[in-house]
Structure 1
């Protein structure tokens, strides 16, 4: 066993603040299919950790993909858990929190390195029971079908206690699967096949979600995470949250503030509509008055004003992130985004006025009906903003997702996306700091987002080949029916998979 790897695990553990651990007879290895810094920045991962430890006779120990420099330092049994330093195969239950499709390879790698059979059909009662949940389950879980014994769809708060009791009390994996198949919003491949339940939606009584620790090793350095809202009041056609996690729920500000430890140096408010929380200024003021730095995810430009931005700056913000989400006003209207160019320009003026270092703006290209005129409008608009303040424009190709109105949209061909990117660089690249998500990786994500179980099998080939785009391309090109999940929804009339609005 590598001393360097053990030392790294202990460094992570020793630098965490606020964490409460537990030992119990029924042990769960709670895994995040990415490296520690990403896992530590996941609020959902932290919430599930607490809930497992709150369950009778159960305890959780975390595990994640080793850092790149530790990949060759692993012991024979693969990764070890952070709390107990035990291999995954020694746990009766191995649970994964998966945020998006590209982390599927991480699940396969963690299982493989631990000597746990990848496929649920090959595991016996001597192997761990594999449970999966996380944000990816809001959209399409069919790529997980070959690997998971059960999948918790959507919000876990209302159903996880019942799930954990079944895992604790059942005598066999078969009994666990049979009983879990009766729990609302739990997908059991053996029982459901392609008939996937709709995601759970937790009621307001279960909110807010809040973190269990903070760490300097997190991507969100020393930040305590707490939820300010769940769902989204907007109706953007590309977004899963607006379709699969409604209605909008706002916890009371006092309840949110009660969850925040006074000793946490930084506080991050999490949600799809953080800036639209009715009491957001009250939350920010309370944290700033306690000398806590604050962090917010992407902000909606049309709700920003001087007081809001001044609070961000007092809370240590150096960059402000907003989303235009489309290259032109016409395209924003088609997406039901509702933002006008004047709102985005005003955000740039506020960023300059209050001394923020940079404004970051997200946009999507490759939309249905998009023209060169739309792209030229984006380039002109970006140039205009750059004359006001330093701007980073992050441009991502549209990745159609199930359970959104754009699920039936075509993925823009990679050569066309490359041409669009080249046009934007030519028009505005000299003054605007552009950041582009690779069209090739967006294509892989789209294939997984709309694919069936066979895309999960393709991911096994990719994991065994060491990853990389060429491995994905070779594996996915062999599929007999790309976008099988979307095709199934169209053929069977699954309206919740293909909402119209």
Structure 2
């Protein structure tokens, strides 16, 4: 799919124009025009997905505030820049926001297609663009970029943004990339492979830390643009919270993304009210790891109802879902609900840090149906630690019970469990493609004969294997990845990855 998208984007770039997309965009904040340094802000996925990512909005806003001539670049429908319709190779600086492991492959293929050397040392030799990396993946394992990046921002990008802009400007003015590396290597939340790789290999402790914004109220806090071409349409995205206080053993958010920090309710209300007076949007999307963890949610829902604003949630937890939350969704025209039971048996779910029963799942979804919901998308994982075949079969039983009791159309989104660095389950086994495929087949067989009203969307087992390899990349794996331009083969040493991440400073702490 990635390769096909890139080929399609290349062909379209010959005659494509972003003008209809730009006309459709509504900027919610006045931005400086122009700016120094041709700087590409790259999101290695589609425009539709990238424009639904608040991090992209925030960093573009920050670059423009700092006088940078930033332009957005996406994978599709064209890889020309949105704002100036330029090729990626025409930019002196490229910073990519990488959220998922699969995006690493897409990023490298796009750079290769643009004739941009993948490795930082090769780009230095030929005077190629400076390439920086940020995004969710850098919180978890920045070693993936050990051979690719001139620098990697660890954690919240806003923390290091001014330092990056300053260092890039000074290095560009004197034409010395080594000065850029040296200056940025001193920042506590920036990893510079050209400087730090050799120190990590020696086992030296670098003491790097992920940068975290402590006061969300001081940030932009909402979308920079509205567009009907985004995943959620003309939705005003509003950030309520970062980080998480829960301790789900499979999840990277509590281990890597910092303590829970919340945007003050009065600040949130003020921003929404001000924007509603000036602009028209379809609904307000509440962005948070878990909506019900925001302590002022009920007050906010009342406020949005008074403004006659529809609501959507980035994440909902089954055991804290209330009729009021469901009514807010339905009032905004949404008849589908997305939740994550994760597994089909109570005991296994409790081990995941989700202490609610199948009975609670069914009861909650029956309540949602009574409030007007007509379909439910349910996320599950297979290949979990301690999972038996009986646990997989119980997913089918639970799906039928929800269908029959709540009278909902049910879609099961089933993925292979991939253990992640820094999490309590980091040492859990990854069962691999053959066993993952067997468990998916087992589930589909269990649904045969009585699957009316139940659909299954399974995650690819090959994609899960690639994700596992990339998420556990060692420093040398990252260098090999850049050299080959594709996921590496050979032995995967998760203990070595853990040691190297610890040397960098990113050990697991809760």
TM normalised by structure 2 equals 0.87
Contact 2:252 2:422 in 1 (8 A): yes
State the secondary structure of the residue aligned to 1:404: coil
Q: Could you say which residue in structure 1 is the equivalent of 2:466?
A: 444
Deviations 1:185-220 (A, max 9, x none): 111111221467332222025456321002111122
The match for 2:19 among 10, 21, 40 is: 10
The farther-off stretch of 327-336 and 198-207 is 198-207
> How far apart, in 2, do the equivalents of 1:382 and 1:289 lie?
36
Contact 1:382 1:428 in 2 (8 A): no
Deviations 1:48-85 (A, max 9, x none): 00010111x32311111132xx5xxxxxxxx4321122
Q: 1:487 to 1:180 in 2, by over 3 A?
A: same
Q: 1:348 to 1:203 in 2, by over 3 A?
A: same
Q: 1:462 to 1:189 in 2, by over 3 A?
A: closer
State the secondary structure of the residue aligned to 1:312: helix
> How far apart, in 2, do the equivalents of 1:415 and 1:2 lie?
37
How many residue pairs match? The answer is 477
State the secondary structure of the residue aligned to 2:70: strand
Contact 2:341 2:378 in 1 (8 A): yes
Q: Is residue 2:47 matched to residue 1:65?
A: no
5 Å matches for 1:244-323? 244-260=256-272, 261-262=275-276, 263-323=280-340
Q: Could you say which residue in structure 1 is the equivalent of 2:6?
A: none
Q: Could you say which residue in structure 2 is the equivalent of 1:81?
A: 81
5 Å matches for 1:94-493? 94-124=94-124, 126-170=127-171, 171=174, 172-193=176-197, 194=200, 197-205=208-216, 206-207=218-219, 209-260=221-272, 261-262=275-276, 263-387=280-404, 388=406, 389-429=408-448, 430-431=451-452, 432-456=454-478, 459=481, 476-477=488-489, 479=490, 481-482=491-492, 484=493, 486-489=495-498
> How far apart, in 2, do the equivalents of 1:265 and 1:47 lie?
21
Q: How far apart are residue 4 of structure 1 and its match?
A: 6.7
The farther-off stretch of 106-115 and 40-49 is 106-115
State the secondary structure of the residue aligned to 1:216: coil
Contact 2:119 2:483 in 1 (8 A): no
5+ residue gaps, structure 2, are 1-9
Q: How far apart are residue 394 of structure 1 and its match?
A: 1.2
> How far apart, in 1, do the equivalents of 2:365 and 2:505 lie?
38
> How far apart, in 2, do the equivalents of 1:219 and 1:486 lie?
38
Q: Could you say which residue in structure 1 is the equivalent of 2:49?
A: 38
The farther-off stretch of 155-164 and 180-189 is 155-164
Q: 1:332 to 1:117 in 2, by over 3 A?
A: same
Contact 1:351 1:359 in 2 (8 A): no
> How far apart, in 2, do the equivalents of 1:158 and 1:258 lie?
24
Q: How far apart are residue 381 of structure 1 and its match?
A: 1.7
Q: How far apart are residue 258 of structure 1 and its match?
A: 2.9
Q: 1:399 to 1:496 in 2, by over 3 A?
A: farther
State the secondary structure of the residue aligned to 2:400: helix
Q: How far apart are residue 457 of structure 1 and its match?
A: 5.4
> How far apart, in 1, do the equivalents of 2:156 and 2:507 lie?
20
State the secondary structure of the residue aligned to 2:241: coil
Q: 1:455 to 1:288 in 2, by over 3 A?
A: farther
Contact 1:101 1:448 in 2 (8 A): yes
The farther-off stretch of 426-435 and 155-164 is 426-435
Q: 1:350 to 1:256 in 2, by over 3 A?
A: same
Q: How far apart are residue 237 of structure 1 and its match?
A: 0.8
> How far apart, in 2, do the equivalents of 1:363 and 1:208 lie?
34
Q: How far apart are residue 488 of structure 1 and its match?
A: 3.5
> How far apart, in 2, do the equivalents of 1:500 and 1:83 lie?
41
> How far apart, in 1, do the equivalents of 2:230 and 2:481 lie?
27
Q: How far apart are residue 403 of structure 1 and its match?
A: 1.6
> How far apart, in 1, do the equivalents of 2:480 and 2:380 lie?
30
> How far apart, in 2, do the equivalents of 1:361 and 1:491 lie?
36
Q: How far apart are residue 120 of structure 1 and its match?
A: 0.2
State the secondary structure of the residue aligned to 2:401: helix
State the secondary structure of the residue aligned to 2:342: coil
Contact 2:323 2:368 in 1 (8 A): no
Contact 1:234 1:337 in 2 (8 A): no
Q: 1:327 to 1:486 in 2, by over 3 A?
A: farther
> How far apart, in 1, do the equivalents of 2:219 and 2:396 lie?
41
Contact 1:208 1:255 in 2 (8 A): no
State the secondary structure of the residue aligned to 1:278: coil
Contact 1:240 1:404 in 2 (8 A): yes
Q: 1:500 to 1:410 in 2, by over 3 A?
A: farther
